[in-house]
Amino acid sequence: MSDSTKTPSPSERILATRRAFLQRAGLGTAAAAGATLAAPAIVRAQAPIRWRLQTYSGAPLGAHVIKPQIDAFNAAANGEMEIELYYADQLVPTAELFRALQNGTLDAVQSDEATMASPVDIAVFGGYFPFATRYSLDVGAMFMYYGLDEIWREAYSEVDNVTWLSTGAWDPLHIFTVDKPIRSLADMNGLRVFGVPTAGRFLSRYGLIPVTVPWDDVEVAMRTGELDGVAWCGFTEAYEVGWADVCNYALTNSVTGAWFGSYFVNTESWKKVPPHLQELFRVTIDQSHYYRNIWYWGGEAKLRVEGEKMELTSIPPEEWARVVADAAQFWDEVAASSPRAAKVVQIFKDYAATMEKAGYPYR
């Protein structure tokens, strides 16, 4: 059977269907933004503003978490401004993103605080903070209604030449392994996994060994045995970027329901952007949050149920309860690190209590 007539696998059909829906709906497309946001064509004597933005993600993932937004912005900016997009480690190593942003090597960054080594006392909450969220909507709700936006703004006001703009939700955190299934906490012991710092720090108490390699090297590192797996993403991402082709096992127990990812800009670069283009950038960030929520959420359950590439494993509820209890202790340890960290942890507790009291369908 030729490649052109090969019957698509279940996961290929799922991914293709969701991509087609997003295209038909106009979510994250430059054409949609250009049609609704483009300014009238006028003659300009000055050269366009040019920015360099680097994301934490590699190109396959970046095609969904950042590229649609940048394409939309560039189309709608109508020649007044153009953003050059760079993926993980293309201009600077991911761990140096903050420094590069601060010194003007980059004009903007998309990342979580922990991965980019942000020097603020709330950096530990960027990325995956254990059990802080159950669903993607939790992130936006806590920023809009519970005051996380004020805390983030305050923290970055104390840092020279970096401005925080917005935080949104990414996918949940699962552990995917190449050839060592996890069916108990003991099975984590000694596993070398690629992952984000805070979750890695928490999971290391069960013997998991966080390993840092460039994003583009993760698949090769799993194939050569340098890594035993990843603790970085959910099912949607694992299938999209090809890690599900290498990993044979997926742990269904989720450490967190959604990742905290943010947009940051170099303050001096931001000041040089006229107000209408600043607003356009913010609007396309919101568009990116919306696109990403649908893209991730649409795949998580469907790929877990219908995806054929990985065997599902689970840690028994009575054993997993220990992890949940350990997370509560971890929260208190982090809260003791600074008054501002304590405020964030209290918001997590207040939000969780409200959701529990609200009941179905909120929890």
**Alpha-carbon span 332 to 309, nearest angstrom:** 38
Q: Model confidence at 362, in pLDDT bands (50, 70, 90)?
A: confident
Domains in the chain and their CATH numbers?
A: 34-171+259-301 (3.40.190.170), 173-257+308-358 (3.40.190.170)
**Alpha-carbon span 265 to 280, nearest angstrom:** 14
> What tens digit of pLDDT does each residue of 54-66 get?
999 999 999 999 9
DSSP 362: T
C-beta separation of 51 from 264 below 8 A:
no
pLDDT of residue 40: 47
Q: Model confidence at 41, in pLDDT bands (50, 70, 90)?
A: very low
Task: For residue 199, give both structure tokens.
Answer: 């979750």
**Alpha-carbon span 12 to 21, nearest angstrom:** 14
Q: Model confidence at 110, in pLDDT bands (50, 70, 90)?
A: very high
> What tens digit of pLDDT does each residue of 209-222 get?
999 999 999 999 99
Of 86, 115, 83, residue with least CA distance to 98: 115
pLDDT at residue 284 is higher than 60: yes
pLDDT at residue 35 is higher than 60: no
Q: Model confidence at 39, in pLDDT bands (50, 70, 90)?
A: very low
**Alpha-carbon span 355 to 163, nearest angstrom:** 31
pLDDT of residue 33: 46
Q: List beta partners, residue 231.
A: 195
> What tens digit of pLDDT does each residue of 67-86 get?
999 999 999 999 999 999 99
**Alpha-carbon span 146 to 148, nearest angstrom:** 6
> What tens digit of pLDDT does each residue of 121-165 get?
999 999 999 999 999 999 999 999 999 999 999 999 999 999 999
pLDDT of residue 242: 95
Task: For residue 92, give both structure tokens.
Answer: 């600077």
**Alpha-carbon span 38 to 31, nearest angstrom:** 10
Angle at which helices 30-37 and 67-76 cross, to 10°: 30
Q: pTM here?
A: 0.87
- 95 φ, ψ (degrees, to nearest 5): -65, -10
Q: Model confidence at 360, in pLDDT bands (50, 70, 90)?
A: confident
Q: Which of 1-5, 221-225, 356-360 has the largest mean confidence? A: 221-225
DSSP 227: -
Whole-number percent of the chain with pLDDT over 70? 89
pLDDT of residue 18: 55
Mean pLDDT of 181-190: 98
Strands (E), the chain: 49-55, 81-86, 108-111, 162-169, 173-177, 192-195, 209-211, 229-233, 249-256, 260-266, 311-313
Mean pLDDT of 325-352: 97
Q: List beta partners, residue 264.
A: 109, 164
**Alpha-carbon span 137 to 204, nearest angstrom:** 28
pLDDT of residue 26: 53
pLDDT of residue 57: 95
Write out the H or E segment, with its range, that includes residue 314: none
Q: Model confidence at 34, in pLDDT bands (50, 70, 90)?
A: very low
pLDDT at residue 5 is higher than 70: no
Which of the pair, 178 or 21, is modelled with greater confidence?
178
pLDDT of residue 28: 46
For the chain, what's the residue count?
363
pLDDT of residue 42: 46
pLDDT of residue 51: 98
Q: How far apart are the first and last CA of the chain?
A: 47
Mean pLDDT of 314-318: 97
Mean pLDDT of 254-281: 97
Of 7-21, 91-105, 125-139, 307-321, the poorest mean pLDDT is in 7-21
pLDDT at residue 343 is higher than 70: yes
